[in-house]
Structure 1
């Protein structure tokens, strides 16, 4: 029997100047992929450099977490950005992170949208195509991390870009397999025990129970552990330990 494996990713570098939101060093001892903020929703040059250095030293894969230009709203506000502008800004963010990744002896290995952009490209073909254009413009055919069945993944497929489906153990799902919008009933799963068991279920069965009580297929290759929630490091360690003791290999996606 083929062993089950799963990648663990977390959003890192989400600070600015002297302000830090995530415990990057501790989370990098748990995860296998780091979604590094590229300055548009959080992050700055010094922070990007520091996180890339830490990730490279630990053998953690570096990913560009691209966003709408929205520092004040942490990238979680809906925005209308023309396609050409969005493509250029996605490429800009990837390129900025690539400088620090290469300086650390690593490279940018994938791209993941953040916040409002992540949710928008689940269903908006025009914005999804702009993100893919930005990835291509950056000069590397990088894998795109996102929601299974999203139009972003469809757009990436059309351009022969690799796609990596991901799941969120601490977020509620609709019966359609999309995330419940933040602020909606059941959007966040706050019980640590439930998050741990949902993580194991997603890894082993590729499924989760929606907020409506129906099983939903989530064929994920990567599991996101949010770094900006209280007790994030402790929870991440519990998730990894539960996976490994159940025979699940925790490793970066191929």
Structure 2
């Protein structure tokens, strides 16, 4: 008969405790994150769009953490040799947003955050995540332009069963054809519209009649847009070089 395996000795058990200083540092960091989340929530409610503000307002505010209790002396602490003094394993996450949270450790204190400014940036990123952009769309810059854009997009969306944006507007800039921005209710709707639009942009008579050909993409952040422009310029320059080397060739 096989004997049951013996119990592990106490000193072979995995540790179940961490240094109180590490726990206290972690607790302070979570408190800091909780404060940041609640400040962002309040800022989004005040500064976000009506639809976004309503969604955020219906969310539950993160409750404050209770004050941690005093440290307890464990058996292993009493019988083991004190470990050498080392740097705590817990290091607060270094992030440009988190580093601005108002905290005090010893004699060092950081400047308080600007919740309204952060909330505005967060609101912009949230809205960008559900926004599409159509490039090269005809633009006569008349007061009726917005209405014509909206009617055209709604007609195309209905004709091909694509998601319909709840807002259509031009990005204000000096381009001869200002980018046309489409705001959807969700990222999924935006992705479905972009996918569907790319399928029909060469076959739909109203779209294919526009010259130069339209391009559709998601709304990009400034660094992403700069990368896209650099990539397009590189391709354009390479095509020019190819035409100079081989004058008889033309890009298909």
Category of TM-score, reference length = shorter chain? under 0.3
Larger proportion of strand: 1
TM-score by length of 2: 0.22
- Which of the pair has the greater relative contact order for Cα pairs under 8 Å at 6+ separation? 1
Whose Rg is larger? 2
Q: Which has the higher helix share?
A: 2
